Chain A
């Protein structure tokens, strides 16, 4: 049984670990990307967005459960991307603060369910889009990002294209309106190895 598992290339390396230098470099790359994302949002709403240090972890699809458990008071949207790197980016957006953001972003008041959906898609596009764009520019990769789609975590039945993924978790908060958002970039195993190579190039 064990020998069989070891024969599969992916099973042989179930946890593609990053060394400290790679982690440092990736964190810096994400820092810069999230700075650009926060700036894109701040310019739109004219309110300062608070940044925190991005978290990097290896995860499995089950690892996303802790986020999905917050579905009561958060919206979720996902976008897949392909190209040099493949994976998906998930945006988690608090219900709280959305009404005020909608107002700052000139959504017609009062907002109905449709306009909230539209707002969540727009916010995911701004935040996740800028995060990925920043990453792509710094790592000289090319990606095609699909349009965001809303989803309900409890209804998510689709097969994940990855078994182990690099989870890049980026948090944005706007204290003034108690808004919080996380952008989670999930990369499949092949892309993780590719990313490591690109980071090594950056470090050389």
Chain B
């Protein structure tokens, strides 16, 4: 069965780059979200077994999404893909329950490696 995957990023270019970086062997049904609120809707609708999440987004940012999902204790694997690569941001993201952090511009090999580590490949 295809994996339910949501890509949450306000930038069209970035969503496109993430799609391109997905390993070809990954069988996924992809939903796109343009902000944190849409990302939460996608999770609630069961469309995000895997959530690829940007941090800087309008309406609700990635940190807000992580905090909300941590409270809901939902069963979603979250990988943050962000331009804010400061050690403090990475630490905060991981403390909020993200399974991993990848920096932009996204390297396909790093995404594949992380997906292997979390057991989704």
List chain A positions with a Cβ less than 8 A from chain B.
21, 24-25, 27-29, 31-32, 34-36, 38-39, 42-43, 48-49, 51, 53, 138, 202-203
A25 with B84: CB separation less than 8 A: no
* Chain A residues with CB below 8 A from B14, complex form: 28
User: In the assembly, what is the distance between CA of A42 and CA of B58, in Å?
Assistant: 24
User: In the assembly, what is the distance between CA of A38 and CA of B56, in Å?
Assistant: 14
* Chain A residues with CB below 8 A from B58, complex form: 53
Interface residue B89 (Cβ < 8 Å from any Cβ of A): yes
B12 with A32: CB separation less than 8 A: no
Closest B residue, CB atoms, query A30: B83
B11 with A39: CB separation less than 8 A: no
* Chain B residues with CB below 8 A from A51, complex form: 56, 83-84
A48 with B86: CB separation less than 8 A: yes
A39 with B13: CB separation less than 8 A: no
* Chain B residues with CB below 8 A from A39, complex form: 84-86
**Residue with the greatest number of chain A CB neighbours at <10 A, chosen from B14, B84, B89:** B84
Closest B residue, CB atoms, query A52: B56
B104 with A35: CB separation less than 8 A: yes
Interface residue B88 (Cβ < 8 Å from any Cβ of A): yes
User: In the assembly, what is the distance between CA of A49 and CA of B84, in Å?
Assistant: 9
A31 with B11: CB separation less than 8 A: yes
Interface residues of B in 74-99 (CB under 8 A from A): 82-89
User: A32-B104, A138-B105 are contacts. A21–B12 as well, Cβ < 8 Å?
Assistant: yes
Q: Could you name 13 residue pairs across A and B whose Cβ atoms are closer than 8 Å?
A: A24-B11, A31-B56, A32-B104, A32-B105, A35-B85, A38-B86, A42-B87, A49-B86, A51-B56, A51-B83, A51-B84, A202-B13, A203-B13
Q: Which 5 residue pairs spanning A and B have beta carbons closest together?
A: A35-B83, A48-B88, A28-B11, A25-B13, A32-B83
Shortest beta-carbon distance from B53 to chain A in Å: 15
Closest B residue, CB atoms, query A49: B86
A36 with B11: CB separation less than 8 A: no
User: In the assembly, what is the distance between CA of A32 and CA of B105, in Å?
Assistant: 7
